[in-house]
Amino acid sequence: MNKEDKKLLEELKSGRESAFESIYNIYYKGLVVYCYNLCKRQDLAEDIVQNVLINIWTKRSDLKISSSFKNYLFRAVHNTFISEYRKQKIEIDINDVKYQFIGDTYMQSDDLTEQRISIVSQAIDRLPKKCRTVFLMSKIKGLKHKDIAKRLNISEKTVEKHISKGLATIKKYVYNNSHLIKIITFYKIKTA
């Protein structure tokens, strides 16, 4: 660890907010870019980096860093990403949900696409009101978890839980109703 890192770590451990601000100003953007390359979601990348930095601040007195501060931070972001991925299997993109249940053997047509969208729409409509609101704010409007939490006066954790629950419910509904698409497709092939 170089002298600057040692000094920054000592100041951080002593509780100096200026040290934390320096860490934030020096590393935040680079950490977000790195994390975005892992998860391909800006809001999630920002959340992970913020959680890592908050964790460093709250556990500052127990920090033991032998490598460079930069390496430590990037490793912490990587480990947090892996942990989140294992917990949630991070974000199933809504498009993946829409098309997951259709096999490669079925030809794409406007009718089928409409049927798929209809099933996903039905699944979204069946979500509990609060869950649906949070889900749509996140996936359709593209709002960040933090913004949704502020607007609805709920915690960011609650926002994450609603989104996870929404995705799981939609995926299950789509899976359970995918046979309708297959029947319609089979019927159209037979009558063509």
Same domain, 98 and 154: yes
Domain boundary among 88, 109, 132: 88
CA pair distance 187, 48, nearest whole angstrom: 47
Same domain, 8 and 22: yes
Give the pLDDT confidence score for residue 1 in this predicted structure. Answer: 66
Give the pLDDT confidence score for residue 174 in this predicted structure. Answer: 78
CATH number at residue 148: 1.10.10.10
Helix%, strand%, coil% for the chain, nearest 5 = 80, 0, 20
Give the pLDDT confidence score for residue 7 in this predicted structure. Answer: 85
Domain boundary among 63, 88, 113: 88
Same domain, 108 and 166: yes
Give the pLDDT confidence score for residue 178 in this predicted structure. Answer: 66
Q: Domain total for the chain?
A: 2
CA pair distance 14, 93, nearest whole angstrom: 43
CATH number at residue 67: 1.10.1740.10
What is the residue-level pLDDT of the chain in tens, covering all 192 positions?
A: 678 878 888 888 888 888 888 888 888 998 988 888 888 888 888 989 999 988 888 888 888 887 777 888 888 898 888 887 766 654 444 444 434 433 333 334 445 556 667 777 788 888 898 898 898 888 777 889 999 999 889 999 999 999 889 888 888 887 777 655 555 444 444 444
Give the pLDDT confidence score for residue 157 in this predicted structure. Answer: 93
Same domain, 76 and 133: no
| Contact (CB, 8 A) for 174 and 123 | yes
| CA atoms in the 13 A half-sphere facing the CB of 2 | 5
Same domain, 74 and 104: no
Domain boundary among 88, 118, 137: 88
Same domain, 35 and 66: yes
Same domain, 12 and 69: yes
Domain housing 130: 94-191
Give the pLDDT confidence score for residue 96 in this predicted structure. Answer: 46
Same domain, 65 and 130: no
> In 3D, which of 17, 41, 31, 39 has the Cα closest to residue 73?
31
Same domain, 79 and 137: no
Give the pLDDT confidence score for residue 183 in this predicted structure. Answer: 52
Helix pair angle (156-191, 110-125), 10° resolution: 150
Same domain, 35 and 105: no
Give the pLDDT confidence score for residue 49 in this predicted structure. Answer: 92
Q: What is the token pair recorded at 75?
A: 């490793």
Same domain, 79 and 25: yes
